[in-house]
Structure 1
Amino acid sequence: MARTALLHLLRSECKHLSSRSFHSGYHLSTLVTRSHSPKATSSFYSPIHLAAAQRRWASQNSAATDDSRISIGPRRGAEGVEDEKDSRVVYYGPISSTIKKVKLLSLSTCCLSVSLGPVITFMTSPGMNVILKGAVASSVIFLSATTTAALHWFVSPYIHKLKWQPGSDSFEVEMLTWLATYTPQTIKFADIRPPETQRPFVTFKANGKFYFVDAEHCQNKALLARLTPQKSTQESAFKNL
Protein backbone atom coordinates (compact mmCIF):
# COMPACT_ATOMS: atom_id res chain seq x y z
CA MET A 1 0.00 0.00 0.00
CA ALA A 2 2.76 2.42 0.92
CA ARG A 3 4.76 1.41 -2.18
CA THR A 4 1.78 2.08 -4.44
CA ALA A 5 1.24 5.50 -2.88
CA LEU A 6 4.92 6.40 -3.32
CA LEU A 7 4.91 5.37 -7.01
CA HIS A 8 1.76 7.36 -7.57
CA LEU A 9 3.35 10.43 -5.95
CA LEU A 10 6.50 10.17 -8.11
CA ARG A 11 4.49 9.84 -11.32
CA SER A 12 2.35 12.86 -10.43
CA GLU A 13 5.50 14.93 -9.72
CA CYS A 14 7.08 13.96 -13.07
CA LYS A 15 3.93 14.88 -14.95
CA HIS A 16 3.72 18.11 -13.05
CA LEU A 17 7.35 19.11 -13.84
CA SER A 18 7.09 18.19 -17.56
CA SER A 19 3.97 20.29 -18.03
CA ARG A 20 4.34 23.89 -19.32
CA SER A 21 1.49 25.35 -17.31
CA PHE A 22 2.98 25.56 -13.84
CA HIS A 23 1.32 27.01 -10.82
CA SER A 24 2.92 30.03 -9.16
CA GLY A 25 4.08 27.97 -6.20
CA TYR A 26 6.37 25.84 -8.40
CA HIS A 27 8.17 28.58 -10.39
CA LEU A 28 11.30 28.38 -8.28
CA SER A 29 11.53 24.61 -8.57
CA THR A 30 11.06 24.90 -12.35
CA LEU A 31 13.98 27.32 -12.69
CA VAL A 32 16.22 25.07 -10.59
CA THR A 33 15.20 22.03 -12.63
CA ARG A 34 15.91 23.81 -15.94
CA SER A 35 19.25 25.11 -14.75
CA HIS A 36 20.40 21.57 -13.79
CA SER A 37 18.95 19.81 -16.83
CA PRO A 38 21.40 18.50 -19.49
CA LYS A 39 19.65 20.50 -22.23
CA ALA A 40 20.11 23.81 -20.40
CA THR A 41 23.70 22.99 -19.58
CA SER A 42 24.47 22.09 -23.18
CA SER A 43 22.80 25.26 -24.51
CA PHE A 44 24.64 27.48 -22.02
CA TYR A 45 28.01 25.82 -22.56
CA SER A 46 27.53 25.25 -26.30
CA PRO A 47 30.63 25.10 -28.56
CA ILE A 48 29.72 28.49 -30.04
CA HIS A 49 29.72 30.18 -26.62
CA LEU A 50 32.95 28.43 -25.62
CA ALA A 51 34.68 29.47 -28.86
CA ALA A 52 33.56 33.09 -28.40
CA ALA A 53 34.82 33.13 -24.81
CA GLN A 54 38.17 31.67 -25.89
CA ARG A 55 38.54 34.32 -28.62
CA ARG A 56 37.80 37.12 -26.15
CA TRP A 57 40.31 35.71 -23.66
CA ALA A 58 42.96 35.30 -26.36
CA SER A 59 42.46 38.86 -27.63
CA GLN A 60 42.71 40.31 -24.11
CA ASN A 61 45.81 38.24 -23.36
CA SER A 62 47.50 39.27 -26.63
CA ALA A 63 46.67 42.95 -25.99
CA ALA A 64 48.21 42.78 -22.53
CA THR A 65 51.28 41.06 -23.94
CA ASP A 66 51.70 43.66 -26.71
CA ASP A 67 51.64 46.49 -24.16
CA SER A 68 54.68 45.08 -22.34
CA ARG A 69 56.56 43.83 -25.38
CA ILE A 70 59.36 45.75 -27.05
CA SER A 71 58.35 46.03 -30.67
CA ILE A 72 59.62 47.56 -33.90
CA GLY A 73 57.16 49.61 -35.92
CA PRO A 74 54.04 51.67 -35.19
CA ARG A 75 52.19 50.84 -32.01
CA ARG A 76 48.87 49.07 -32.41
CA GLY A 77 45.75 50.05 -30.56
CA ALA A 78 43.66 53.20 -30.25
CA GLU A 79 46.58 55.41 -31.18
CA GLY A 80 47.29 53.32 -34.28
CA VAL A 81 43.65 53.52 -35.37
CA GLU A 82 43.68 57.30 -35.04
CA ASP A 83 46.90 57.49 -37.05
CA GLU A 84 45.41 55.38 -39.82
CA LYS A 85 42.59 57.87 -40.16
CA ASP A 86 45.07 60.73 -40.43
CA SER A 87 46.41 60.69 -43.99
CA ARG A 88 49.17 63.16 -43.10
CA VAL A 89 51.18 60.60 -41.13
CA VAL A 90 53.88 59.46 -43.55
CA TYR A 91 56.59 58.15 -41.19
CA TYR A 92 56.80 56.22 -37.92
CA GLY A 93 59.96 55.71 -35.92
CA PRO A 94 60.56 51.94 -36.06
CA ILE A 95 61.83 51.71 -32.46
CA SER A 96 59.77 54.55 -30.97
CA SER A 97 58.10 52.42 -28.29
CA THR A 98 61.42 50.82 -27.32
CA ILE A 99 63.11 54.19 -26.86
CA LYS A 100 60.24 55.44 -24.70
CA LYS A 101 60.32 52.35 -22.46
CA VAL A 102 64.09 52.55 -22.02
CA LYS A 103 63.84 56.25 -21.22
CA LEU A 104 61.10 55.63 -18.64
CA LEU A 105 63.24 52.92 -17.06
CA SER A 106 66.24 55.27 -16.93
CA LEU A 107 64.17 58.05 -15.36
CA SER A 108 62.75 55.67 -12.76
CA THR A 109 66.22 54.42 -11.86
CA CYS A 110 67.52 57.97 -11.59
CA CYS A 111 64.67 59.02 -9.29
CA LEU A 112 65.18 55.98 -7.06
CA SER A 113 68.92 56.62 -6.89
CA VAL A 114 68.45 60.26 -5.92
CA SER A 115 65.75 59.59 -3.32
CA LEU A 116 66.76 56.25 -1.81
CA GLY A 117 70.50 56.14 -2.52
CA PRO A 118 71.61 58.41 0.34
CA VAL A 119 69.15 56.82 2.77
CA ILE A 120 70.37 53.28 2.06
CA THR A 121 74.01 54.38 2.15
CA PHE A 122 73.74 56.07 5.54
CA MET A 123 71.61 53.30 7.07
CA THR A 124 74.09 50.56 6.21
CA SER A 125 77.59 50.05 7.65
CA PRO A 126 77.30 52.10 10.89
CA GLY A 127 81.05 51.94 11.41
CA MET A 128 81.88 53.59 8.10
CA ASN A 129 83.03 57.18 8.01
CA VAL A 130 80.32 59.78 7.24
CA ILE A 131 82.48 61.45 4.61
CA LEU A 132 82.98 58.13 2.85
CA LYS A 133 79.24 57.46 2.95
CA GLY A 134 78.56 60.86 1.43
CA ALA A 135 81.09 60.18 -1.31
CA VAL A 136 79.46 56.84 -2.14
CA ALA A 137 75.95 58.37 -2.22
CA SER A 138 77.15 61.24 -4.40
CA SER A 139 78.86 58.83 -6.80
CA VAL A 140 75.67 56.77 -7.19
CA ILE A 141 73.57 59.88 -7.85
CA PHE A 142 76.12 61.29 -10.29
CA LEU A 143 76.40 58.02 -12.20
CA SER A 144 72.63 57.63 -12.51
CA ALA A 145 72.10 61.26 -13.58
CA THR A 146 74.94 61.04 -16.10
CA THR A 147 73.51 57.88 -17.63
CA THR A 148 70.06 59.43 -17.95
CA ALA A 149 71.46 62.61 -19.50
CA ALA A 150 73.60 60.65 -21.96
CA LEU A 151 70.61 58.57 -23.01
CA HIS A 152 68.53 61.69 -23.60
CA TRP A 153 71.33 63.30 -25.61
CA PHE A 154 71.70 60.18 -27.72
CA VAL A 155 68.00 59.69 -28.58
CA SER A 156 66.86 63.33 -28.58
CA PRO A 157 67.17 63.73 -32.41
CA TYR A 158 64.98 60.68 -33.02
CA ILE A 159 61.71 61.52 -34.83
CA HIS A 160 58.92 59.30 -33.52
CA LYS A 161 56.22 60.42 -35.93
CA LEU A 162 56.17 62.71 -38.96
CA LYS A 163 53.08 64.34 -40.47
CA TRP A 164 53.23 66.01 -43.85
CA GLN A 165 50.62 67.04 -46.40
CA PRO A 166 51.99 66.75 -49.96
CA GLY A 167 52.49 70.22 -51.39
CA SER A 168 52.96 71.88 -48.01
CA ASP A 169 56.16 73.79 -47.26
CA SER A 170 56.30 72.54 -43.64
CA PHE A 171 55.78 69.34 -41.68
CA GLU A 172 55.11 68.32 -38.09
CA VAL A 173 57.21 65.94 -36.02
CA GLU A 174 56.75 64.37 -32.59
CA MET A 175 59.81 64.34 -30.36
CA LEU A 176 60.46 62.89 -26.91
CA THR A 177 61.05 65.25 -23.99
CA TRP A 178 63.07 64.74 -20.81
CA LEU A 179 60.03 63.22 -19.08
CA ALA A 180 59.39 60.73 -21.92
CA THR A 181 56.34 62.59 -23.25
CA TYR A 182 55.69 63.41 -26.87
CA THR A 183 55.80 67.03 -27.96
CA PRO A 184 54.91 68.29 -31.48
CA GLN A 185 57.18 70.59 -33.45
CA THR A 186 56.60 72.29 -36.79
CA ILE A 187 59.55 72.54 -39.18
CA LYS A 188 59.79 74.32 -42.53
CA PHE A 189 61.70 72.78 -45.40
CA ALA A 190 63.49 76.09 -45.92
CA ASP A 191 65.07 75.77 -42.47
CA ILE A 192 66.57 72.34 -43.12
CA ARG A 193 70.36 72.25 -43.31
CA PRO A 194 72.88 69.39 -43.51
CA PRO A 195 74.31 68.45 -40.10
CA GLU A 196 77.68 70.11 -39.57
CA THR A 197 78.81 67.61 -36.96
CA GLN A 198 79.91 64.01 -36.64
CA ARG A 199 77.20 63.31 -34.10
CA PRO A 200 75.72 59.82 -34.69
CA PHE A 201 72.16 59.26 -35.85
CA VAL A 202 71.52 62.73 -37.25
CA THR A 203 69.82 63.26 -40.62
CA PHE A 204 69.34 67.01 -40.79
CA LYS A 205 69.49 70.18 -38.74
CA ALA A 206 66.75 72.79 -38.43
CA ASN A 207 66.48 75.83 -36.17
CA GLY A 208 69.59 74.81 -34.24
CA LYS A 209 68.28 71.30 -33.43
CA PHE A 210 69.22 67.91 -34.80
CA TYR A 211 66.74 65.37 -36.19
CA PHE A 212 67.03 61.77 -37.29
CA VAL A 213 64.90 59.82 -39.79
CA ASP A 214 65.46 56.14 -40.53
CA ALA A 215 65.81 56.14 -44.31
CA GLU A 216 65.05 52.40 -44.59
CA HIS A 217 61.61 52.84 -43.00
CA CYS A 218 60.64 56.08 -44.76
CA GLN A 219 58.35 54.99 -47.60
CA ASN A 220 57.98 58.45 -49.14
CA LYS A 221 61.22 58.86 -51.06
CA ALA A 222 60.32 62.35 -52.28
CA LEU A 223 59.99 63.50 -48.68
CA LEU A 224 63.22 61.74 -47.74
CA ALA A 225 65.06 63.58 -50.51
CA ARG A 226 63.84 66.90 -49.12
CA LEU A 227 64.86 65.91 -45.60
CA THR A 228 68.40 64.96 -46.62
CA PRO A 229 69.79 67.93 -48.56
CA GLN A 230 73.29 67.56 -49.94
CA LYS A 231 75.92 70.00 -48.75
CA SER A 232 77.15 70.65 -52.27
CA THR A 233 73.63 71.50 -53.41
CA GLN A 234 73.26 73.97 -50.57
CA GLU A 235 76.60 75.60 -51.34
CA SER A 236 75.83 75.91 -55.04
CA ALA A 237 72.47 77.42 -54.26
CA PHE A 238 74.07 80.03 -52.04
CA LYS A 239 76.70 80.78 -54.71
CA ASN A 240 74.02 81.32 -57.34
CA LEU A 241 72.33 83.81 -55.05
Structure 2
Amino acid sequence: MTRAALFQLLRSQSKHLSQRNLHSGYHLQSSSALIDKTCGRTSSFVSRLSAVQKRWASQATTREDESKISIGPRRGQEAEEDEKDVAYVGPISSTIKKVKLLSLSTCCLSVSLGPVITFMTSPDMNVILKGAVASSVIFFSATTTGVLHWFVSPYVHKIRWKPGSDSFEVEIMSWLATYIPRTIRFADIRPPETNRPFVTFKANGSFYFVDQEHCQNKALLARLTPQQQESAFKNL
Protein backbone atom coordinates (compact mmCIF):
# COMPACT_ATOMS: atom_id res chain seq x y z
CA MET A 1 0.00 0.00 0.00
CA THR A 2 2.78 2.44 0.78
CA ARG A 3 4.49 1.77 -2.54
CA ALA A 4 1.22 2.21 -4.48
CA ALA A 5 0.45 5.51 -2.73
CA LEU A 6 3.96 6.76 -3.39
CA PHE A 7 3.70 5.77 -7.07
CA GLN A 8 0.36 7.61 -7.45
CA LEU A 9 1.81 10.72 -5.77
CA LEU A 10 4.78 10.81 -8.13
CA ARG A 11 2.50 10.29 -11.13
CA SER A 12 0.21 13.17 -10.13
CA GLN A 13 3.20 15.49 -9.57
CA SER A 14 4.65 14.65 -13.00
CA LYS A 15 1.31 15.40 -14.70
CA HIS A 16 1.07 18.68 -12.83
CA LEU A 17 4.60 19.71 -13.89
CA SER A 18 3.99 18.76 -17.53
CA GLN A 19 0.78 20.82 -17.59
CA ARG A 20 2.63 23.82 -16.10
CA ASN A 21 5.42 23.49 -18.70
CA LEU A 22 2.92 23.31 -21.53
CA HIS A 23 1.07 26.31 -20.15
CA SER A 24 4.25 28.38 -19.77
CA GLY A 25 5.46 27.34 -23.25
CA TYR A 26 2.15 28.42 -24.73
CA HIS A 27 2.47 31.77 -23.03
CA LEU A 28 6.03 32.25 -24.27
CA GLN A 29 5.07 31.24 -27.79
CA SER A 30 2.07 33.56 -27.85
CA SER A 31 4.10 36.48 -26.44
CA SER A 32 6.90 35.98 -29.05
CA ALA A 33 4.31 35.82 -31.83
CA LEU A 34 2.74 39.02 -30.51
CA ILE A 35 6.15 40.76 -30.46
CA ASP A 36 6.94 39.63 -34.01
CA LYS A 37 3.55 40.81 -35.21
CA THR A 38 4.03 44.21 -33.54
CA CYS A 39 7.52 44.63 -35.05
CA GLY A 40 6.20 43.70 -38.48
CA ARG A 41 3.41 46.24 -38.22
CA THR A 42 5.86 48.93 -37.07
CA SER A 43 8.31 48.28 -39.94
CA SER A 44 5.52 48.26 -42.51
CA PHE A 45 4.18 51.54 -41.09
CA VAL A 46 7.63 53.13 -41.25
CA SER A 47 8.16 52.00 -44.87
CA ARG A 48 4.74 53.32 -45.88
CA LEU A 49 5.43 56.62 -44.13
CA SER A 50 8.78 57.05 -45.94
CA ALA A 51 7.17 56.23 -49.28
CA VAL A 52 4.45 58.83 -48.67
CA GLN A 53 7.07 61.45 -47.70
CA LYS A 54 9.08 60.78 -50.86
CA ARG A 55 5.91 61.04 -52.95
CA TRP A 56 4.97 64.34 -51.32
CA ALA A 57 8.49 65.73 -51.86
CA SER A 58 8.49 64.79 -55.56
CA GLN A 59 5.03 66.27 -56.04
CA ALA A 60 6.06 69.47 -54.28
CA THR A 61 9.17 69.80 -56.46
CA THR A 62 7.13 69.22 -59.61
CA ARG A 63 4.56 71.79 -58.54
CA GLU A 64 7.28 74.34 -57.80
CA ASP A 65 8.85 73.78 -61.23
CA GLU A 66 5.49 74.04 -62.96
CA SER A 67 4.52 77.17 -61.01
CA LYS A 68 7.63 79.02 -62.22
CA ILE A 69 7.13 81.12 -65.33
CA SER A 70 9.57 80.10 -68.06
CA ILE A 71 10.07 81.13 -71.66
CA GLY A 72 10.77 78.27 -74.02
CA PRO A 73 11.17 74.58 -73.16
CA ARG A 74 12.08 73.27 -69.71
CA ARG A 75 15.67 72.47 -68.78
CA GLY A 76 15.25 68.74 -69.22
CA GLN A 77 13.45 69.10 -72.53
CA GLU A 78 15.99 71.60 -73.79
CA ALA A 79 18.91 69.33 -72.87
CA GLU A 80 17.28 66.36 -74.60
CA GLU A 81 16.61 68.40 -77.74
CA ASP A 82 20.20 69.69 -77.78
CA GLU A 83 21.61 66.20 -77.39
CA LYS A 84 19.48 64.93 -80.25
CA ASP A 85 20.77 67.63 -82.60
CA VAL A 86 24.45 67.22 -81.68
CA ALA A 87 26.18 65.45 -84.56
CA TYR A 88 29.83 66.07 -83.63
CA VAL A 89 31.81 66.93 -80.49
CA GLY A 90 35.49 67.84 -80.58
CA PRO A 91 37.56 65.19 -78.78
CA ILE A 92 39.96 67.70 -77.17
CA SER A 93 37.51 70.54 -76.63
CA SER A 94 37.93 70.63 -72.84
CA THR A 95 41.72 70.50 -73.12
CA ILE A 96 41.81 73.46 -75.50
CA LYS A 97 39.62 75.48 -73.16
CA LYS A 98 41.85 74.75 -70.16
CA VAL A 99 44.98 75.71 -72.10
CA LYS A 100 43.41 78.96 -73.30
CA LEU A 101 42.29 79.85 -69.78
CA LEU A 102 45.78 79.18 -68.47
CA SER A 103 47.32 81.31 -71.22
CA LEU A 104 44.88 84.16 -70.57
CA SER A 105 45.49 84.10 -66.83
CA THR A 106 49.27 84.12 -67.37
CA CYS A 107 48.97 87.02 -69.79
CA CYS A 108 46.82 89.03 -67.38
CA LEU A 109 49.23 88.39 -64.51
CA SER A 110 52.25 89.37 -66.59
CA VAL A 111 50.56 92.60 -67.77
CA SER A 112 49.35 93.61 -64.33
CA LEU A 113 52.09 92.36 -62.02
CA GLY A 114 55.10 92.21 -64.35
CA PRO A 115 56.00 95.90 -64.25
CA VAL A 116 55.36 96.12 -60.50
CA ILE A 117 57.62 93.17 -59.75
CA THR A 118 60.31 94.44 -62.14
CA PHE A 119 60.43 97.93 -60.63
CA MET A 120 60.33 96.71 -57.02
CA THR A 121 62.86 93.84 -57.13
CA SER A 122 65.90 95.75 -58.45
CA PRO A 123 66.04 99.29 -57.03
CA ASP A 124 69.59 99.87 -58.35
CA MET A 125 68.72 98.98 -61.96
CA ASN A 126 68.24 101.70 -64.56
CA VAL A 127 64.65 102.77 -65.15
CA ILE A 128 64.98 102.36 -68.90
CA LEU A 129 66.30 98.83 -68.47
CA LYS A 130 63.45 98.01 -66.10
CA GLY A 131 60.94 99.27 -68.62
CA ALA A 132 62.56 97.18 -71.34
CA VAL A 133 62.40 94.04 -69.20
CA ALA A 134 58.76 94.63 -68.26
CA SER A 135 57.84 95.34 -71.89
CA SER A 136 59.62 92.17 -73.03
CA VAL A 137 57.70 90.05 -70.51
CA ILE A 138 54.37 91.58 -71.55
CA PHE A 139 55.16 91.23 -75.25
CA PHE A 140 56.20 87.58 -74.89
CA SER A 141 53.09 86.67 -72.92
CA ALA A 142 50.74 88.50 -75.30
CA THR A 143 52.47 86.95 -78.33
CA THR A 144 52.14 83.40 -77.03
CA THR A 145 48.48 84.00 -76.18
CA GLY A 146 47.81 85.39 -79.66
CA VAL A 147 49.64 82.54 -81.40
CA LEU A 148 47.68 80.00 -79.38
CA HIS A 149 44.39 81.65 -80.30
CA TRP A 150 45.37 81.79 -83.99
CA PHE A 151 46.34 78.14 -83.92
CA VAL A 152 43.19 76.77 -82.24
CA SER A 153 40.62 79.29 -83.51
CA PRO A 154 39.46 77.06 -86.43
CA TYR A 155 38.79 74.16 -84.08
CA VAL A 156 35.10 73.19 -84.10
CA HIS A 157 34.00 72.20 -80.61
CA LYS A 158 30.45 71.11 -81.44
CA ILE A 159 28.19 70.75 -84.46
CA ARG A 160 24.40 70.69 -84.31
CA TRP A 161 22.69 69.42 -87.43
CA LYS A 162 19.34 67.90 -88.27
CA PRO A 163 19.54 65.35 -91.11
CA GLY A 164 18.03 66.83 -94.25
CA SER A 165 18.68 70.43 -93.25
CA ASP A 166 20.67 72.72 -95.58
CA SER A 167 22.48 74.44 -92.72
CA PHE A 168 24.17 73.53 -89.47
CA GLU A 169 25.40 75.27 -86.34
CA VAL A 170 29.00 75.18 -85.15
CA GLU A 171 30.53 76.27 -81.87
CA ILE A 172 33.99 77.81 -81.92
CA MET A 173 35.95 79.45 -79.12
CA SER A 174 36.71 83.13 -78.81
CA TRP A 175 39.96 84.55 -77.49
CA LEU A 176 38.28 84.85 -74.07
CA ALA A 177 37.65 81.05 -74.04
CA THR A 178 33.89 81.44 -74.53
CA TYR A 179 31.85 79.45 -77.05
CA ILE A 180 30.49 81.32 -80.06
CA PRO A 181 27.71 79.71 -82.14
CA ARG A 182 27.63 80.26 -85.89
CA THR A 183 25.16 79.07 -88.50
CA ILE A 184 26.69 77.88 -91.78
CA ARG A 185 25.01 76.72 -94.95
CA PHE A 186 26.43 73.77 -96.82
CA ALA A 187 26.34 75.84 -100.02
CA ASP A 188 28.87 78.29 -98.48
CA ILE A 189 31.49 75.60 -97.81
CA ARG A 190 34.66 75.99 -99.86
CA PRO A 191 38.01 74.17 -99.83
CA PRO A 192 40.57 75.85 -97.54
CA GLU A 193 43.13 76.61 -100.32
CA THR A 194 45.78 77.55 -97.77
CA ASN A 195 48.83 76.07 -96.10
CA ARG A 196 47.43 76.78 -92.67
CA PRO A 197 47.54 73.61 -90.53
CA PHE A 198 44.46 71.91 -89.15
CA VAL A 199 41.87 73.36 -91.52
CA THR A 200 39.07 71.22 -92.97
CA PHE A 201 36.92 73.73 -94.86
CA LYS A 202 36.30 77.44 -95.31
CA ALA A 203 32.95 79.21 -95.02
CA ASN A 204 32.11 82.92 -95.14
CA GLY A 205 35.76 83.90 -94.91
CA SER A 206 36.54 81.81 -91.80
CA PHE A 207 38.43 78.56 -91.43
CA TYR A 208 37.10 75.52 -89.59
CA PHE A 209 38.67 72.27 -88.49
CA VAL A 210 36.81 69.01 -87.85
CA ASP A 211 38.61 65.90 -86.63
CA GLN A 212 37.53 63.49 -89.35
CA GLU A 213 38.70 60.41 -87.47
CA HIS A 214 36.35 61.17 -84.55
CA CYS A 215 33.37 62.28 -86.62
CA GLN A 216 30.92 59.39 -86.34
CA ASN A 217 28.30 60.97 -88.62
CA LYS A 218 29.61 60.04 -92.05
CA ALA A 219 26.77 61.79 -93.88
CA LEU A 220 27.70 65.08 -92.22
CA LEU A 221 31.39 64.52 -92.90
CA ALA A 222 30.67 63.91 -96.59
CA ARG A 223 28.83 67.22 -96.83
CA LEU A 224 31.59 69.07 -94.97
CA THR A 225 34.32 67.75 -97.27
CA PRO A 226 32.71 67.41 -100.73
CA GLN A 227 35.99 67.91 -102.60
CA GLN A 228 37.72 65.10 -100.70
CA GLN A 229 34.81 62.79 -101.38
CA GLU A 230 34.87 63.61 -105.09
CA SER A 231 38.62 63.05 -105.36
CA ALA A 232 38.37 59.74 -103.53
CA PHE A 233 35.57 58.67 -105.86
CA LYS A 234 37.65 59.60 -108.92
CA ASN A 235 40.63 57.64 -107.64
CA LEU A 236 38.42 54.59 -107.37
> Under a length normalisation based on structure 2, what TM-score does the superposition of the two structures give?
0.63
Instruction: Quote the Cα distance in structure 1 between the aligned partners of 2:205 and 2:224.
Output: 15
Structure with bigger helix share is 2
- The normalised TM-score by structure 1 is 0.61
Q: 2:217 aligns with which of 210, 220, 227?
A: 220
Structure 1 gaps of 5+ residues are 1-77, 235-241
Amino acid at match of 2:149: H
Matched, 1:98 2:100: no
Q: Is the 1:194–1:231 contact (alpha carbons within 8 Å) kept by the matching residues of 2?
A: no
Tell me the number of residue pairs that the alignment of Structure 1 and Structure 2 aligns.
Answer: 156
SS in 1 for 2:100: helix
Deviation string, structure 1 residues 142-173 (Cα, Å, up to 9, x no partner): 00000000000000000000000000000001
Query: Which residue of structure 1 aligns with residue 168 of structure 2?
Result: 171
Secondary structure at the counterpart of residue 226 of structure 2: coil
Task: Name the counterpart of 2:152.
Answer: 155
Percent of aligned pairs sharing the same letter: 79
Cα–Cα, structure 1 residues 82 and 232, in superposed 2: closer, same or farther, change >3 Å?
closer
The within-5 A match list for 1:9-88 is 82=79, 86-88=83-85
Deviations 1:77-120 (A, max 9, x none): x99x9267631101000000000000000000000000000000
Q: CA deviation at 1:222?
A: 1.2
The CA distance in 1 between the partners of 2:168 and 2:161, in whole Å, is 5
Deviates more, 1:225-234 or 1:190-199: 225-234
C-alpha contact (below 8 Å) 2:85/2:161 kept by paired residues: yes
**1:51-88 alpha-carbon deviations (Å, 9 max, x no partner):** xxxxxxxxxxxxxxxxxxxxxxxxxxx99x92676311
**RMSD, aligned CA:** 2.1
- In the TM superposition, structure 1's runs of 4+ consecutive aligned residues that sit over 6 Å from their partners are none
What residue identity is the alignment partner of 2:99? V
- The change in CA–CA distance for 1:163 and 1:110 in structure 2 (over 3 A counts) is same
- Pairing partner for 1:203 from 200, 203, 206: 200
CA change 1:137–1:204 in 2 (3 A) is same
Long gaps (5+) in structure 2: 1-74, 232-236
Post-superposition Cα deviations, 1:170-202, rounded to whole Å, max 9, x if no partner, equal 000111011101111000000000101011110
User: For residue 140 of structure 1, what is the aligned residue in structure 2?
Assistant: 137
Quickly say closer, same or farther: Cα 1:155–1:120, change in 2 above 3 A. Answer: same
Distance across 2 between alignment mates of 1:187 and 1:129: 55
2:210 aligned with 1:191: no
- What's the secondary structure of 1:86's corresponding residue? helix
Corresponding letter in the other structure for 2:83: D
Structure possessing the higher radius of gyration over alpha carbons = 2
Work out whether residues 103 and 152 of structure 1, in 8 Å CA contact, stay in contact via their aligned partners in 2: yes
CA contact (8 A) 2:222 2:229 kept: no
